[in-house]
């Protein structure tokens, strides 16, 4: 019996007890308050992404459609609209502000209100209770989502200031990309504050204690599709859990699959599915941790939808996930290689995993003569047509997103809610301040 089942069973048992028995039970003191909380954000990961991922990972040789971690842990939905002045369609900054502070703000805001005044974040609240905090992401660590959890700034674009302010956040674990924003002088200040600094994933194993700032790429981490075996986000997540769990008072950790959104902006389904795989794997790492540590709550969601992804397009009642599984490199990589070689056709076909028709070869050949960007676009178009994948925009869309949860108080996140309420609920689960 899992903890969650036990918890549900206890609740149902309480419900059938006579009234006098329940009157003495303070539900807020029931074993429903987690010691540790992990919030996971699939950037741009609207419902179309989790459904697409289900078919992407499905084994066609079995009768059933295999469930994903998303199917297993789904509990509700959340609206994501930003503050009124920004309309109905949020950006990552306003949504991350909502998830980190419980307040809506304008698109671009990093945990400041519509008057640009700082809003208290769940990470600050955790720190004030002696808990540990951390972020593990696949973008640069000073990108919108991790930034909103750790600092305050009137604009997500102030990357240098956000990087500098991370020093004040006192976060125990900072893992992701972003070397170009952290000067030697700034890293020196981190070291003075007791941080170990690493810039190579191989060094991760040598880190046995907080604090750590690990920056593993100039900006964002490499596309997963070009190195699916690296399991980078899972490794960062695993290490974060190991380090943060050393604090008896508990921890709050943010894990973000940042590049799902970037692939969505590029309308690049093959790259997006690999990023989804990586995020799902990291979610399974946390799910496993929660099963082994019943005092830990996982809440996962998306900050918004990206690209208007559609499973099926061109009037066809079909979506070819098998074709997508066979693609072994990102269109950006395939294009760069093809531009550099005269004998490009075989390589392209090999990376795509299927034979190209004469007209497809002609289209790619024409695009190749116009250069890298045109060839990338042509490759993505070809993949979309072949797989019946549709997109409506290179930006965000305003549909609601899913909420996933497991662990103590997971039921709090059931049903329909606003993204600000996700933060409010998590904040009420923090221990009372001494």
Residues that bind Zn ion (CB under 5 A): 43, 92, 261, 303
Residues in contact with 431: Cβ distance below 8 Å, sequence separation at least 6, in sequence order: 33, 129, 131, 249, 250
* Residue 248 assigned ligand-binding role: no
Q: Which is nearer to Zn ion, 261 or 268 (CB)?
A: 261
- Nearest position to Zn ion, beta carbon: 92
Both tokens assigned to 365: 């050949």
- Least Å from the CB of residue 139 to Zn ion: 9
* Residue 256 assigned ligand-binding role: yes
Q: Which is nearer to Zn ion, 112 or 375 (CB)?
A: 112
* Residue 145 assigned ligand-binding role: yes
Kindly list the distances between the CA atom of residue 158 and the CA atoms of 106, 163, 164, 190, 413, in Å, as whole numbers in the listed order: 15, 9, 10, 19, 33
- Least Å from the CB of residue 275 to Zn ion: 13
Q: Which is nearer to Zn ion, 80 or 234 (CB)?
A: 80
DSSP string, 317-328: S---HHHHHT--
Question: Can you list the pairs that 324-328 forms with residues at least 24 positions away whose Cβ atoms lie under 8 Å?
Answer: 324/56, 324/269, 324/270, 324/273, 324/383, 324/387, 325/56, 325/353, 326/352, 326/353, 326/354, 327/225, 327/270, 327/351, 327/352, 327/353, 327/383, 328/225, 328/353
Residues in contact with 45: Cβ distance below 8 Å, sequence separation at least 6, in sequence order: 257, 260, 261, 276, 279, 302, 305, 401
- Least Å from the CB of residue 162 to Zn ion: 16
Q: Which is nearer to Zn ion, 107 or 238 (CB)?
A: 107
Q: Which is nearer to Zn ion, 40 or 329 (CB)?
A: 40
- Least Å from the CB of residue 93 to Zn ion: 8
* Residue 172 assigned ligand-binding role: no
- Least Å from the CB of residue 416 to Zn ion: 21
Cα–Cα distance measured from residue 89 to residue 104, given in angstroms and rounded to the nearest whole number: 12
Cα–Cα distance measured from residue 53 to residue 72, given in angstroms and rounded to the nearest whole number: 13
Q: Which is nearer to Zn ion, 92 or 220 (CB)?
A: 92
* Residue 293 assigned ligand-binding role: no
| Catalytically annotated residue among 12, 32, 86, 92 | 92
Q: Which is nearer to Zn ion, 233 or 348 (CB)?
A: 233
Q: What is the DSSP letter of 153?
A: B
Q: What is the DSSP letter of 104?
A: -
Residues in contact with 344: Cβ distance below 8 Å, sequence separation at least 6, in sequence order: 337, 338, 368
* Residue 227 assigned ligand-binding role: no
Residues in contact with 199: Cβ distance below 8 Å, sequence separation at least 6, in sequence order: 179, 214, 215, 216
Cα–Cα distance measured from residue 134 to residue 166, given in angstroms and rounded to the nearest whole number: 11
Q: Is 330 a catalytic residue?
A: no
* Residue 261 assigned ligand-binding role: yes
Cα–Cα distance measured from residue 287 to residue 74, given in angstroms and rounded to the nearest whole number: 12
Burial-class residue 23 by CB neighbours within 10 Å (0-12, 13-18, 19+): exposed
* Residue 303 assigned ligand-binding role: yes
- Least Å from the CB of residue 75 to Zn ion: 21
- Least Å from the CB of residue 389 to Zn ion: 20
Cα–Cα distance measured from residue 241 to residue 296, given in angstroms and rounded to the nearest whole number: 11
* Residue 265 assigned ligand-binding role: yes
Give the residue numbers marked as catalytic.
92
Binding residues for Zn(2+): 43, 261, 265, 303-304, 396
Binding-site residues sit at 43, 143, 145, 256, 261, 265, 303-304, 396
Annotated binding site for Mg(2+): 43, 143, 145, 256
């Amino acid at each position: 019996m899992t903890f969650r089942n036990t918890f549900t069973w206890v609740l149902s048992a309480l419900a059938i007890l006579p009234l006098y028995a329940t009157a003495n039970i303070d539900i807020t003191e029931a074993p429903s308050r987690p010691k540790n909380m992990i919030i996971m954000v699939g950037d741009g990961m609207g419902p179309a992404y989790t459904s697409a991922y289900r078919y992407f990972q499905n084994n066609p040789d079995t009768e059933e459609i295999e469930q994903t971690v998303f199917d297993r842990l789904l509990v509700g939905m959340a609206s994501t609209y930003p503050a009124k002045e920004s309309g109905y369609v949020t950006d990552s900054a306003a949504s991350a502000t909502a998830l980190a502070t419980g307040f809506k703000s304008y698109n671009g805001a990093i945990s400041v209100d519509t008057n640009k005044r700082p809003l208290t974040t769940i990470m600050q609240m955790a720190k004030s209770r002696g808990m540990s905090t951390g972020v593990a992401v696949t973008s640069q660590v000073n990108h919108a989502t991790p930034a909103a959890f750790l600092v305050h700034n009137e604009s997500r674009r102030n990357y240098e200031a956000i990087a500098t302010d991370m020093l004040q956040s006192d976060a125990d674990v900072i893992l992701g990309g972003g070397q170009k924003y952290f000067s030697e002088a700034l890293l020196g200040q981190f070291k003075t504050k007791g941080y170990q600094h690493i810039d190579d994933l191989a060094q991760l194993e040598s880190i046995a204690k907080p604090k750590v700032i690990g920056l593993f790429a100039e900006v964002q981490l490499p596309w997963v599709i070009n190195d699916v075996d690296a399991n980078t986000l899972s490794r960062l997540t695993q290490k974060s859990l190991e380090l943060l769990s050393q604090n008896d008072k508990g921890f709050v950790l943010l894990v973000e699959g940042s590049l799902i959104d970037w692939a969505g902006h590029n309308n690049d389904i093959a790259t997006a599915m690999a990023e989804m795989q990586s995020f799902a794997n990291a979610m399974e790492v946390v799910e496993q941790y929660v099963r082994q540590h019943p005092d830990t709550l996982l809440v996962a969601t998306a900050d918004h939808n990206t690209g208007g992804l559609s499973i099926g397009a061109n009037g066809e009642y079909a979506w070819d996930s098998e074709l997508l599984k066979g693609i072994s490199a990102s269109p950006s990589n395939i294009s760069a290689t093809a531009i550099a070689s005269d004998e490009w056709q075989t390589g392209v076909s090999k990376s795509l995993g299927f034979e190209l028709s004469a007209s497809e070869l002609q289209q790619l050949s024409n695009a190749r003569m116009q250069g890298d960007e045109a060839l990338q676009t042509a490759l993505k178009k070809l993949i979309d047509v072949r797989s019946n994948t549709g997109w409506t925009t290179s930006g965000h869309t305003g549909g609601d997103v899913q909420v996933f949860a497991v662990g103590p108080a997971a039921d709090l996140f059931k049903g329909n809610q606003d993204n600000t309420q996700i933060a409010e609920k998590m904040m009420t689960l923090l221990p009372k301040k001494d």
